[in-house]
Amino acid sequence: MNNIIRQLAEQAGVSIDGMGFGEGDVEGFAKLIVKECSKVIVHGGYWSGGPLGPKRQCTPPEIARMIEEHLGVKE
């Protein structure tokens, strides 16, 4: 499990066993995950063409990949 997801679960008071099942404030946990995804979108919504290159807006698939990588989600 990704450390970010584990930290979010702990913040929400959700205990997660070795098989990935948990109990606690699951709704609060879900809200924290959404906030974390929003943070990636806001801070990673543009890619630079290098230090001097022009910025361009990322495509939705690129943003989705950034979120998946940030949270350690693999297909």
| pLDDT for the residue numbered 41 | 87
Is the pTM here over 0.95, yes or no?
Answer: no
- Residues 2, 32: contact at Cβ < 8 Å? no
Domain ranges in the chain? 3-71
pLDDT at 3: 83
pLDDT of residue 19: 58
Start-to-end C-alpha separation, the chain: 14
Can you give the pLDDT at residue 30?
Answer: 86
The pLDDT value recorded for residue 37 is: 92
- Residues of the chain short of pLDDT 70, as ranges, are 1, 16-22, 48-53, 75
